[in-house]
Structure 1
Amino acid sequence: MATAQELFDDLIMEHLARPEVSMGRMFHSEGLKVNGKIYAFLSKDRRVVLKVPAARAAELVEEGTAEAMVMGARRMREWVALRVPDETVWRRLLSEAATYVGGSSHR
């Protein structure tokens, strides 16, 4: 089984093949940006953190796929941390995050 870093590195390469995707920094980590906005990064504790709609984030937490992101005392409604490296799940959710952040309806 691939480590979180190895799996994320592979998925980064897939995403960087898209012209609208680039690398950027968030919370001292390298992450993926779409049209200049960060949508996913690997945290220092080796969890993939991504931005999805608040309702989707709540759903992922409820089903146990992700944990809510808390910064200080504040829960970040649209950010979740994925628990276990899983290529199928991570690939799907990174694509969801890219679509959400890159979409014209996102604020």
Structure 2
Amino acid sequence: MASDHEAMRRAHEHFDPIAEHELTLPDVDMGRMFSTDGLRIRGKVYAFIAHDGTLVVKLPQPRIDELADGGGIDHMRMRGREMREWATVPLAYAATWDGLVTEAHDFVASLAGD
């Protein structure tokens, strides 16, 4: 089993090119979330890499439920509590990360009245 440091390194190999593109979009920057850097739109975080190397994205709860039905992707849990609008996406699903980050960007932008 890979260490968290190794998992983060591998995850960033996939995430960093996505983030590089996202940072070219209007009102997008990087900021802190759960002691890691995440993508933000107008100050609201929508995607980041967790310490275990999973992608975490903010999406509508029904969309996360849909993704979770397929297995592997699930609601984020903090201290045993399910986070309604946050999904964890393991590195095994890295091929979906670009699309999910785009969905998260669009969702959070819509919450801010974009």
Task: Establish whether TM, by shorter chain, passes 0.5.
Answer: yes
Contact 1:4 1:85 (8 Å CA) reproduced = no
What is the aligned counterpart of 1:68 among 70, 75, 79?
75
1:63-101 deviation line (CA, Å, top 9, x unaligned): 1251221111210011011022423x1111100000000
How many residues align? The count is 104
Bigger proportion of residues as helix: 2
Which structure 2 residue ranges, 5 or more long, are not aligned? 1-9
- For residue 13 of structure 1, what is the aligned residue in structure 2? 20
Aligned partner of 2:55 in structure 1 is 48
For 2:59, the aligned partner's letter is V
Provide structure 1 residue ranges, at least 5 long, that are not aligned to the other structure.
none
Q: Give the residue type in structure 2 aligned to 1:63.
A: G
Cα drift, residue 105 of structure 1: 6.9
Name the CA distance, whole Å, in 2 between partners of 1:86 and 1:29. Answer: 19
Give the 4+ runs in structure 1 shifted more than 4 A.
none
Correspondence 1:1-107 to 2 at 5 A: 3-83=10-90, 84-87=92-95, 89-104=96-111
1:24-59: CA deviation from partner (whole Å, max 9, x where unpaired): 110011000011100000000010000000000111
TM-score in terms of structure 1 length: 0.89
Aligned to 2:4: none
**Following the alignment from structure 2 to structure 1, what is the Cα–Cα distance between the partners of residues 79 and 33?**
16
TM-score by length of 2: 0.84
- Structure-1 separation of matches of 2:41 and 2:73: 22
**1:75 aligned counterpart, secondary structure:** strand
Tell me the CA shift for residue 19 of structure 1: 2.1
Q: Percent identity?
A: 38
What RMSD, in angstroms, separates the aligned Cα atoms of the two structures?
Answer: 1.8
Residues 7 and 85, structure 1, Cα contact 8 Å, conserved in 2: no
